[in-house]
Amino acid sequence: MNLLDIRNLQVVFKTTTKPVHAVNGVSFHLDVGEILGVVGESGSGKSQMTFAMVGLHSKNAKVSGQALFEGVDLLELNEGELERIRATQIAMIFQNPMTALNPYLRISDQMAEILTFHQGMLKSQALMHCIHMLDVVQIPDAKNRLRMYPHEFSGGMRQRVLIAMALLCQPRILIADEPTTALDVTVQAQIVELLKNIRQEFGTAIILITHDLGLVAGMTDRIVVMYGGQVMESGTTESIFSSPEHPYTTALLDAVPRLDRDSDSLSVIAGDPLDVRDRWKGCPFEPRCEYHLPMCLQTRPPIETANGRIRACHVDRNLIGK
Amino acid sequence: MTPVLTVEKLSVEFDVATDGNWPWIPKRKLTAVRDVSFEVGSQETLGLVGESGSGKTTLIRAIAGTVPLSSGRILWEGEDLTHFDRRSRRQVRKDMAMIFQDPLAALNPRMTAGQIIAEPIRTHMPELSKAQIVTKVGEIMEKVGLLPNLANRYPHEFSGGQCQRIGIARALILNPKLVICDEPVAALDVSVRAQVVNLLKELQRELGMAMIFIAHDLSVIKHISTQIMVIYLGKVMELAPAKELLSHPIHPYTRALIASVPIPDPIEERARPRVILSGDLPSPLEIPKGCVFESRCPEARKECASIQPKPELYRTGHQVACPFQITETGIS
């Protein structure tokens, strides 16, 4: 059994004008101790998908489908049960480490609260655990740092504190939503190393949501590429990078500026990212796709599964990237 | 030919109040930019790289004249800008344009795209008639890849990439000699980022302006710059032609910076040696006595804590602020 199994997940937002379809039937799975990369541009539904999975979606969203965590459908649970799962089994870290911490409380209070509330620990015992966890995420002088307020930490340090908080209850899954976007490259490298070590040490499965293909290349085992709230392609990291089988993936890989290649101008994906307010019958990437066929406009591409790879495209796989 | 812009030993300091803003407590000095020198000619692009807090934005603000200098000189086509009166400053400002990071925030939400793009000509060339302005706006919109019939729409009706194109059109409408771009693609998606970078390059080829391009992403800078300057805590670490800096980085900081840019290829990325810098940027209020990079440098020696390295010539056009690395690599 997979640790997490998402089946045909849909998220629709009710708005005053017309419904917005943010996620349209996404399916994927996550194995124990695996790092899965979810790649997509803004508006691809990658964040909304994970929010819906753990019940953090906003009130006007309607979620359907299944999200099976060790066989239990997360979408059927009530708020109390979900809260327990979020605290102890599935933890999240967010993009902006500045806003995820309460500026009025010392780090010690914010961290210890999790353990006293969810595991019924005594405060003193909880603090010992927190110091240990701050050591794990390599915050020097953890004992004194614990008494500080969030503003006394730098951006990279705050992200470390958040990772430590997420790991306190030893979750099975860590969802990292753009964890390094707000950080500098040198600090990003530190955080990536840290996340890799955490997987080694605790066997935590990680879902890394990002738009940075470079980040995904170095640390994930498998990738899910999303566009317009749908999975375009998924497979092992090596296979996606070496032989992409979806026009969107090939275009995306070509458009990334690379430090190790000499080229005069970058290849470009024509057009703009799609507007989530629009509804389409066929493939969401059709207007920007260089391979597009007449049928792409009319029917949604079927999901093909072969050799552990999933792709949704009408175009023959042998034609792409040639 | 005289370069469009020459910056000599530029420093910018700010007074900061500490422990309450009491008049009897002396203010502390925050040095944001220290002894920066470089020049940019027409058709050239200077890429400026550094972490947040390294003084990139302060540097370009000083050049644009929105922050007073503490010392140093800025030469505009060979003439000292610091002694210009208001009228000649205004003349220079016409030739100096800026493009900003957040494309939507940089545009006035209550003006249409056409009005936004026309604003610079309305201020600097009031003699033009309405019809002339409209044709000029139409021309520039076509040049940056916007349909002229979008001129009556408001910024919120455009996507991020299109908003950035409006920003570029506004910057270029007066045919400036220098365009300063402050992280113009940081807020855009990967697929749109390539479009904007290519557009800027093409426009430069066509219009021949000089550019200063700030980004914290080396791989973007690489595609657009002729020269790259790496700054750390307000000081120049390395300045070299773009290709040379990336193929032969000398300064340990430049090397670490290059090594921390992830390569989008799983096999190469995993095979790469890791250079991970520990720690964060030191506080600019307590600048170290010796080399500013000493606290994080993997190659630091005892002497580094006491001497202040100045950028020295490594070979023509390539300056490095690290005497030890220069002697070690040898002049070839």
Quote the pLDDT of residue B331: 47
**What is the 3-class SS of chain B, one letter each residue?**
CCCCEEEEEEEEEEEECCCCCCCCCCCEEEEEEEEEEEEECCCCEEEEECCCCCCHHHHHHHHHCCCCCCEEEEEECCEEHHHCCHHHHHHHHHCEEEECCCCCCCCCCCCCHHHHHHHHHHHHCCCCCHHHHHHHHHHHHHHCCCCHHHCCCCHHHCCHHHHHHHHHHHHHCCCCCEEEEECCCCCCCHHHHHHHHHHHHHHHHHHCCEEEEECCCHHHHHHHCCEEEEEECCEEEEEEEHHHHHHCCCCHHHHHHHHCCCCCCHHHHHHCCCCCCCCCCCCCCCCCCCCCCCCCCCCCCCHHHCCCCCCEEEECCEEECCHHHHHHHCCC
Mean pLDDT (whole number) for A180-205:
88
| End-to-end CA gap in chain B | 29
Quote the pLDDT of residue B79: 87
Alpha-carbon distance B221 to B213, whole Å?
A: 7
Quote the pLDDT of residue A27: 92
Mean pLDDT (whole number) for A7-21:
90
DSSP secondary structure, A212-249, as one string: -HHHHHHH-SEEEEEETTEEEEEEEHHHHHHS--SHHH
Mean pLDDT (whole number) for A82-89:
88
One of 1.20.58.190, 3.30.565.10, 3.40.50.300, 1.10.150.120 is the CATH number of A4-89+171-233, namely 3.40.50.300
Give the domain extent around B271: 5-95+176-329
Question: Does residue B235 fall inside a structural domain?
Answer: yes
- pLDDT tens for chain B, 332 residues long, are 789 999 999 999 988 877 677 778 788 888 899 999 999 999 999 999 988 888 888 999 999 888 888 999 999 988 888 777 888 888 888 899 999 988 888 999 999 999 999 999 999 999 999 999 999 999 999 999 999 889 999 999 888 889 999 999 999 999 999 999 998 988 888 878 888 999 999 999 999 999 999 987 888 888 899 999 999 999 999 999 999 999 889 999 999 988 888 888 888 888 887 777 887 778 888 888 889 998 888 888 888 888 888 888 888 889 999 888 877 765 44
Question: What does each C-alpha distance from A157 to A151, A152, A250 come to in angstroms?
Answer: 10, 9, 36
β-strand B312-315 against A230-236: which pairing, if any? unpaired
User: Are residues B257 and A185, on separate chains, in Cβ contact within 8 Å?
Assistant: yes
The number of CA neighbours under 13 Å toward the Cβ of B44 is: 20
Which residues of chain B lie closer than 8 angstroms to A190, CB-CB? 276-278
The residue whose two tokens read 């509804």 is A279
Quote the pLDDT of residue B330: 55
Quote the pLDDT of residue B164: 93
Please say if the pLDDT value at position A146 is more than 50.
yes
Question: Does residue B122 fall inside a structural domain?
Answer: no
Rounded to a whole number of angstroms, the CA Rg of chain A reads: 21
Quote the pLDDT of residue A96: 82
Rounded to a whole number of angstroms, the CA Rg of chain B reads: 21
Which residues of chain A lie closer than 8 angstroms to B103, CB-CB? none
Angle between helices A107-119 and A123-136 (to 10 degrees): 120
Domains in chain B, number: 1
User: Are residues B52 and A184, on separate chains, in Cβ contact within 8 Å?
Assistant: yes
Question: What b/e readout covers A123-142, taking b as 16+ CB neighbours within 10 angstroms?
Answer: eeebbebbbebbebbebeeb
Structure tokens at B228: 């790259």
User: Are residues B223 and A266, on separate chains, in Cβ contact within 8 Å?
Assistant: yes
Contact A224/A38 with Cβ under 8 angstroms? yes
β-strand B178-182 against B210-214: which pairing, if any? parallel
Contact B249/B260 with Cβ under 8 angstroms? no
Contact B122/B173 with Cβ under 8 angstroms? no
The number of CA neighbours under 13 Å toward the Cβ of B55 is: 30
DSSP state of A121: -
Task: Tell me the whole-structure pTM to 2 decimals.
Answer: 0.85
Any idea what the CATH number is for the domain that residue B197 is in? 3.40.50.300
The residue whose two tokens read 């720690």 is B279
B193 — contact with chain A (CB < 8 Å)?
A: yes
Query: What residue in B sits closest to A267 (Cα-Cα)?
Result: B194
DSSP helix/strand/coil, A83: helix
DSSP helix/strand/coil, A210: strand
Question: Does residue B36 fall inside a structural domain?
Answer: yes
Query: What residue in B sits closest to A158 (Cα-Cα)?
Result: B280
Q: How far is A83 from chain B (nearest CA, A)?
A: 33
Structure tokens at B151: 């001129």
Most distant CA pair in chain B, distance: 69
B188 — contact with chain A (CB < 8 Å)?
A: no
- Chain A interface mutation, best of B54, B190, B257, highest count of A Cβ atoms under 10 Å: B190
ipTM rounded to 2 decimals: 0.79
B54 — contact with chain A (CB < 8 Å)?
A: no
Quote the pLDDT of residue B332: 41
Q: What are phi and psi for residue B203, nearest 5 degrees?
A: -65, -35
Return the number of CB contacts < 8 Å for A and B.
135
C-alpha closest to that of B189 among A208, A250, A40? A40
Q: Which of A242, A252, A275 sits opposite B191 (nearest CB)?
A: A252
